[in-house]
Every structure is written in structure tokens, then in C-alpha cells.
Amino acid sequence: MPKIGMKPIRREALVNAAIFEIGRVGTLDVTVSQIAKQAGVSSALAHHYMGGKDEIFVAAMRHILTIYRLEIQGALALSTTPRERVEAIIRSSFSKQNFRPDIVSAWLNFYVKANASAPTKRLLTVYHKRILSNLTYSLRPLVGDNAPKIASGIAAMIDGFYLQLALKNKPTNKDTLVHLIIEYLDMSIERNAIKNDI
């Protein structure tokens, strides 16, 4: 049984602390010291284990995306029909885990910052393509060749609601948002079905 080093422990603590602090401040204007303190370690240690501020951010982004991915995968595993799969992706985006204010805040900050950070950009691009691909794949049996378009529309709605949430203080009802998107999905299926019939 190999003795487990402190590295993974510290890294996890620091990543969580980073997300927490970004959520608290609402911005990426967070100092390494703040993050380290929140993680209960010295800033020197943060550098030691994470390499630097940018790496902390990338790790945090990666962490958020991983959570997201796992949650979607789990939901997909329980889905059988294409319709269920699409709904699973939508619902996962507003799951308890992904919907935490600090997660949303960090997410958006990284999203925007991606413009100026190559690694973050890569990460997000990969994630975005995967989501779109997942959506498109599941949508194709339902809407045929319109799948890419509608997948893009659903993704936009999800992102858009995230963005709006960052602006509001009052906790929004997730169900309302989910229903709205699913309505869009239903209408798209319906319209397409009709067209296909003809």
C-alpha cells in the first residue's frame, strides 16, 4: 500500500478554496494568499503544489468541468431513449452541484477569461464540443438534420441562464429554467416531426 502523499490532498483543498474565493469575490481578482488561507495553507505551499496562480485557475476550471462531466455521464447512464438523454443533459446543467452560486460564478469567470488564457480556452472548447456532440447525437433521432442547430440553441439557453444568474441575488427556481428549455426541446421535436411526416 503506497503511502499517499499530501499532493492530492492539498491540490483538492486549494482548488476548492479557489472556487470558493472566486465565488465570494465574484471575480478572478483573487490573490493566491486568499486562496491559500481559505485552504488553510501558506501561499508558498500553494505555489509548491500548484505551480502558480494560472495553474490554480486551470485546475479549478478542470475540476468544475469534471464534476459537470461526471454528472452528465451519470444521468446519461440512467437514460434509455434519446429524449431522456437530452433531458438528462439539460437537467444536469442545473443540478444541485453545478448550480452552486460559487460554481456558477467561477464558471462564468473562466468562460470569459478563456479569451486570454490558452489552456482555459482549450479546456472549454473541448467541453463545449463534447456537450454539443452529446446533444446533437441524441437529438438526431428526434429532429433529424436540424439536430446541430437545436443543440446549439439549447446550449445557448443553458449558458444564457447561467449568465443571468450571475446578475441576480435572489435564488432562482431551477425548475422554471429547466422547463423552459425542455419546452423549447419539445416544440422543436414537434415541429420537426410534423415536417418529417409530410
Partner DNA sequence: AATGAATGAGGATTCATTCAT
Partner DNA sequence: GATGAATGAATCCTCATTCAT
52 binding partner (options DNA, its own copies, none; Cβ < 5 to 8 Å by kind): DNA
At a CB cut-off of 8 Å and minimum separation 6, what does 153 contact? 184, 188
Helix (H, G, I), strand (E, B) or coil at 75: helix
Q: Which helix (H) or strand (E) holds 124?
A: helix 118-143
Using the minimum distance from each CB to DNA, give the nearer residue, 60 or 177. 60
The residues that touch its own copies, with contacts defined as CB under 8 A, are 25-27, 29, 105, 108-109, 111-116, 121, 124-125, 128, 149, 152-153, 155-164, 166-167, 176, 180-181, 183-184, 187-188, 190-191
Farthest-apart Cα atoms in the chain, separation:
68
Span of 46-54, 85-93, 156-164, 175-183 interacting with DNA by CB under 7 A: 46-54
116 binding partner (options its own copies, DNA, none; Cβ < 5 to 8 Å by kind): its own copies
Place of cell 409530410: 198
Place of cell 453545478: 98
Using the minimum distance from each CB to DNA, give the nearer residue, 20 or 94. 20
Using the minimum distance from each CB to DNA, give the nearer residue, 1 or 77. 1
Helix (H, G, I), strand (E, B) or coil at 33: helix
Span of 2-10, 77-85, 92-100, 175-183 interacting with DNA by CB under 7 A: 2-10
Using the minimum distance from each CB to its own copies, give the nearer residue, 70 or 156. 156
Does residue 42 interact with DNA by CB under 7 A? yes
Question: Are 90 and 157 within 8 A, CB to CB?
Answer: no
Does residue 173 interact with DNA by CB under 7 A? no
Torsion sign, CA atoms 188, 190, 196, 198: negative
Using the minimum distance from each CB to DNA, give the nearer residue, 20 or 161. 20
Contacts with DNA, residue ranges (CB under 7 A): 3, 5-7, 10, 30-33, 41-45, 47-48, 52-54
